[in-house]
């Protein structure tokens, strides 16, 4: 006697396919449209307002919202404004923390107007070695609002590339170029 237990010879081992196309009420185009709408809604950022916390003295959350009005929202990420201590001269600093869902914008404190070189493109130098000539533009930051908007837009594009497009977010020159063109 065999210890193998086999199914009866009359039944097939394969499952029968569900025949959705034979049902009268099934419309494959409607199903495709519904799936496309679900995917579109899943990829769209939530349209809530900015969740802002300001650790900078003299700049509250309402002032930050007013300064950033008209700019895109980073979905459910929080925005934190921190003071940036510097030794010799002010500079730009920001951070997009993907693991905690937070964008940190640092504003120089004490603030005084300054200019910063923003690298917007790179051209390859001829030769066998990979060398680049960096193209830059000088951006003038006269107010805290300018710094807030520039750094926020830079970090927002990092968020957009990672969370909405599913790409790597390390496109520094693209983020600088985007922020430079849109922060004023």
Residue 103's Cβ-count burial label (10 Å; 0-12, 13-18, 19+) is: buried
Q: How would residue 40 be classed by pLDDT, with cut points 50, 70 and 90?
A: confident
pLDDT of residue 39: 72
Is the CB of residue 147 less than 8 Å from the CB of residue 107? yes
- Mean pLDDT value of segment 136-160: 96
Question: SS3 sequence, 58-109?
Answer: CCCHHHHHHHCCCCCCCCCCEEEEEEECCCCCCCCEEEEECCCCEEEEEEEC
Is the pLDDT confidence value at 33 over 90?
no
Lowest mean pLDDT among 48-62, 90-104, 134-148, 149-163: 48-62
pLDDT above 70 as % of the chain: 78
Q: How would residue 30 be classed by pLDDT, with cut points 50, 70 and 90?
A: low
Residue 43's Cβ-count burial label (10 Å; 0-12, 13-18, 19+) is: exposed
Give pTM, 2 decimals. Answer: 0.72
Is the pLDDT confidence value at 7 over 60?
no
- Mean pLDDT value of segment 47-54: 80
């Amino acid at each position: 006697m065999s210890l193998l237990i086999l199914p009866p010879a009359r039944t097939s081992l394969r499952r029968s396919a569900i025949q959705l196309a034979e049902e009268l009420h099934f419309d494959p185009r409607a199903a495709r449209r519904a799936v496309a709408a679900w995917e579109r809604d899943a990829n769209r950022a939530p349209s809530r307002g900015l969740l802002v916390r300001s650790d900078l003295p003299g700049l509250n959350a309402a002032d930050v919202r007013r300064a950033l009005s008209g700019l895109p929202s980073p979905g459910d990420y929080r925005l934190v404004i921190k003071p940036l201590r510097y030794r010799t001269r002010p500079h730009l600093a920001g951070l997009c923390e993907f693991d905690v869902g937070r964008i940190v914008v640092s504003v120089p404190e004490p603030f005084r107007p300054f200019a910063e070189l923003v690298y917007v493109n790179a051209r390859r130098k001829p030769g066998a070695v990979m060398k680049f000539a960096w193209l830059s533009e000088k951006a003038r930051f006269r107010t805290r609002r300018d710094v807030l908007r520039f750094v926020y837009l830079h970090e927002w594009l990092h968020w957009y590339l990672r969370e909405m497009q599913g790409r790597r977010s390390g496109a520094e020159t693209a983020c600088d170029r985007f922020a430079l063109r849109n922060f004023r």
